[in-house]
Amino acid sequence: MKKVLFATTALVMTAGVAAAEVSLSGDGRMGMVYDGDDLQFTSRARVKFTLTGESDSGLSFGGEFRVDHEDEDGSSASRGGAGHVYISGAYGKLSMGDIDSASEKANGDLHGVGLTGLGDINEFVYLTSDFESNDNPGALYEYTTGAFTAYASMMDAGDDYGFDGDNDTVWSIGGKYAASNYAFGLGYEAVDVDGFDLNQWTISGEGTFGQATVKAIYSDMDNDGVFDDVKQYGLSVMYDAGATDVSAFYKKDEYSFAGVDTGDADTWGIGAAYDLGGGATLKGGIVDSDYNADTIADFGVAFTF
């Protein structure tokens, strides 16, 4: 017998009892991707579990993870990876698991385009968000006062990138000031592990001008003479014309070694989305990047459930 779950925007509780909850949400998409060579079908369906509760004294706690990230042998929210848990109160919010770095929380990414993200090159590379957390979860602390939020994160270096696996810690701090029509972010990340000494500054600004939102991000990763230094520059705009949104981004990555240029890579993307209502959105986009041999594009329908 098929079960139908009641959908509602209100949470129903027994009066006076703090209720712990497991809720379900989902997303999906179907369409076509042109990879510069072939036109391919693309589709997916996903479900996310959201866990929420509240202690007697009013502390909020919970967690979330996607069912497709549960893998008994690989990453899993059951082992601190691929999901997170949190506890939140007057003293801020502490999250553990597969968390983003403080700098990524403060600065975020450029506006993305397309049905599938087309490689997600609108996303900035953050130095300490991308460490494997299969072995040990990372921790992120957030504290908001007025329009300002401070972030601090720590993560295990693990044995990524040839590190010795001695549980050395990489860390990040960041801050974001978000007013009604503009926001600024600043973050710092550091990897000082096994003789490596890498760090990255990231700064971002965002402003809304009528129907347009413009965002700029700059980051400077200073490596230690073992890897290339990397500077990332990006600018994106999203224009909200009612049911239709149009987005575009430009990103440039500059590589150098010991002060000598070793190359750069340009990427631009443009896309549009049309809201069909009820959780369905028509989406399409085009991305041209030095990281890809060809210009790629996609088109289709995205769903949220």
- Within positions 39 to 78, which residues make up the interface with a copy of itself, using CB under 8 A? 40-47, 49-57, 59, 61-78
**Concatenated DSSP letters of 126-138:** PTTTSS--SSS-E
Query: Cβ 250 to a copy of itself, closest distance in Å?
Result: 29
Query: Cβ 88 to a copy of itself, closest distance in Å?
Result: 11
Interacting positions 195-254 with a copy of itself (CB under 8 A): none
Question: Which sign, positive or negative, has the C-alpha torsion 106, 112, 117, 122?
Answer: negative
Provide CB contacts within 8 A for 74, sequence distance 6+. Answer: 134
Query: Cβ 157 to a copy of itself, closest distance in Å?
Result: 12
Query: Cβ 290 to a copy of itself, closest distance in Å?
Result: 24
* Position 137 contacts a copy of itself (CB under 8 A): yes
User: Which residue lies nearer to a copy of itself by CB, 133 or 267?
Assistant: 133
Q: Where are the beta strands (DSSP E) in 55-195?
A: 60-66, 84-89, 92-97, 138-145, 148-156, 169-178, 182-193
One of 261, 276, 291, 293 touching a copy of itself (CB under 8 A): 276
* Position 7 contacts a copy of itself (CB under 8 A): yes
One of 15, 79, 189, 209 touching a copy of itself (CB under 8 A): 79
* Position 93 contacts a copy of itself (CB under 8 A): no
* Position 28 contacts a copy of itself (CB under 8 A): yes
Which amino acid is residue 195, in one-letter code?
A: G
Query: Cβ 297 to a copy of itself, closest distance in Å?
Result: 16
User: Which residue lies nearer to a copy of itself by CB, 64 or 160?
Assistant: 64
User: Which residue lies nearer to a copy of itself by CB, 137 or 285?
Assistant: 137
Query: Cβ 163 to a copy of itself, closest distance in Å?
Result: 14
One of 34, 88, 92, 94 touching a copy of itself (CB under 8 A): 94
Using CA atoms, how far apart are residues 169 and 78, in angstroms rounded to an integer? 22
Query: Cβ 184 to a copy of itself, closest distance in Å?
Result: 29
What number of chain residues touch a copy of itself (CB under 8 A)? 90
* Position 278 contacts a copy of itself (CB under 8 A): yes
Interacting positions 149-188 with a copy of itself (CB under 8 A): 154, 156, 167
* Alpha helix ranges (H) inside 163-297: none
Interacting positions 97-126 with a copy of itself (CB under 8 A): 97
Other Cβ atoms less than 10 A from the Cβ of 288: the count is: 16
* Position 3 contacts a copy of itself (CB under 8 A): yes
Residue 262 region, left (φ>0) first, then alpha (ψ -120 to 50), else beta? alpha
Phi and psi at residue 58, to the nearest 5°: 95, 5
Provide CB contacts within 8 A for 284, sequence distance 6+. Answer: 114, 115, 271, 272, 297, 298, 299, 300
Provide CB contacts within 8 A for 155, sequence distance 6+. Answer: 99, 101, 128, 131, 133, 138, 139, 169, 170, 171
189 in Cβ contact with 232 (< 8 Å):
no
Owner of token pair 């996303």: 123
